[in-house]
Amino acid sequence: MLQNTHLQIVSDQTETAAISMKNFSAYFGEACILSDVSFDVPSRGVTCLIGPSGAGKSTLLRTLNRINGETQTASFTGEVDVLGKPLIEGYPDVTILRRKVGMVFQSPCVFPRSISENVLFGRRDKKLSKTERRTLVETCLKDAGLWSEVSKRLDKPALNLSLGQQQRLCIARALAMTPDILLLDEPTASVDPVSARVIEDLLTRLSSKMTIVMVTHNIAQTKRVADHVVFLCDGQIVEAGAKTDMFSRRSCDKTRTYLTEEFCDC
Ligand SMILES: Nc1ncnc2c1ncn2[C@@H]1O[C@H](COP(=O)(O)OP(=O)(O)OP(=O)(O)O)[C@@H](O)[C@H]1O
Ligand SMILES: [Mg+2]
């Protein structure tokens, strides 16, 4: 049986957590997918969610911008606060939540439109002038590390980009919403190692401006990118803490086994 205490991974106790889960459980029908999960995510830095397949990592991530809520059989107990407000009552309009909490999926989800139109997709409001739109496209593509590769073909179809470029375009599109929190579910799983490193560097840079929560199966990547690590197994948190602690002798036996052998016997 796993121990599941409320672990604080906020480094400075006076720092406000961007996300706080307390005794959170998630169900699909009768099946309990996440059980009594409690942890805080600091407002700066990269928090990596790791754990074996089926552990509930994506379910946890999707909870945070209420994608699971769209599944009829989904139900929840416990408390989740996002940016100091309850996830449900604090955001009666889910689009407000999703503006603050952006999401990037494992497979790049690029629309059959131009590169510019993809970046501006969530900002299709008429309030932006032509100049503002152009500036926003340039800023977001620069922040996503894609500008130099696409600046001369902004009106060309986004689907012609490589997978790694498409994934960075998805990040640019999420950034165009100026989110406070960016959630990424295995964002480098479908890209080559060079593109993966570009995305990792990008996330490290962005993490000084916003909260980054990333699911990854890649332990080496966790070591490179994470400031904080949450280790989930079988729907429960095994351990959560600063990366330096998790990768040290201070972590529990199960964590050390998983981090060295990528194996968990929970
Ligand atoms: N919509 C759904 N309805 C029923 N069960 C679901 C649903 N979504 C996920 N599950 C179940 O919840 C469990 C956790 O799934 P989840 O996708 O969160 O795992 P994961 O840790 O992200 O795994 P992986 O590393 O393979 O992506 C699995 O047993 C999965 O079958
Ligand atoms: Mg998953």
**Residue ranges with CB less than 5 Å from ion ligand 2:** 58
Q: What atom in ligand 1 is closest to the CA of residue 56?
A: 18
| Gap from CA of 59 to ligand 1 centroid (Å) | 6
| Gap from CA of 235 to ligand 1 centroid (Å) | 10
Residue 15 dihedral angles phi and psi, to the nearest 5°: -75, 140
Q: How confident is the model at residue 190 (pLDDT cuts 50, 70, 90)?
A: confident
63 close to 25: Cβ distance less than 8 angstroms = no
Atom 3 of ligand 1: nearest residue by CA position = 28
Mean pLDDT for 221-248 is 94
| Domains of the chain as residue ranges with CATH | 17-261 (3.40.50.300)
Note the ligand closest to the C-alpha atom of 217.
1
| Gap from CA of 266 to ligand 2 centroid (Å) | 18
- 9 pLDDT higher than 60: no
* Whole-angstrom distance, CA of residue 20 vs CA of residue 42: 9
Note the ligand closest to the C-alpha atom of 232.
1
Instruction: Note the pLDDT tens digit of each residue in 118-170.
Output: 999 998 877 889 999 999 999 999 988 899 999 999 999 999 999 899 999 99
* Whole-angstrom distance, CA of residue 129 vs CA of residue 149: 25
DSSP string, 32-64: EEEEEEEEEEESSEEEEEE-STTSSHHHHHHHT
Pocket lined around ligand 1, Cβ cut-off 6 Å: 28, 33, 51, 53-59, 71
Atom 18 of ligand 1: nearest residue by CA position = 56
CA distances to 96, 127, 143, 173 from 146, in Å: 27, 25, 8, 12
At 102 the pLDDT is: 95
CA distances to 81, 135, 157, 200, 243 from 161, in Å: 37, 21, 8, 19, 34
Q: Write out the H or E segment, with its range, that includes residue 154.
A: none
165 close to 149: Cβ distance less than 8 angstroms = yes
| Gap from CA of 186 to ligand 1 centroid (Å) | 14
Mean pLDDT for 72-83 is 93
Report the candidate in 84, 85, 83, 41 with the shortest Cα–Cα distance to residue 60. 41
135 close to 189: Cβ distance less than 8 angstroms = no
| Gap from CA of 184 to ligand 2 centroid (Å) | 10
* Whole-angstrom distance, CA of residue 19 vs CA of residue 80: 7
Report the candidate in 197, 193, 192, 202 with the shortest Cα–Cα distance to residue 169. 202
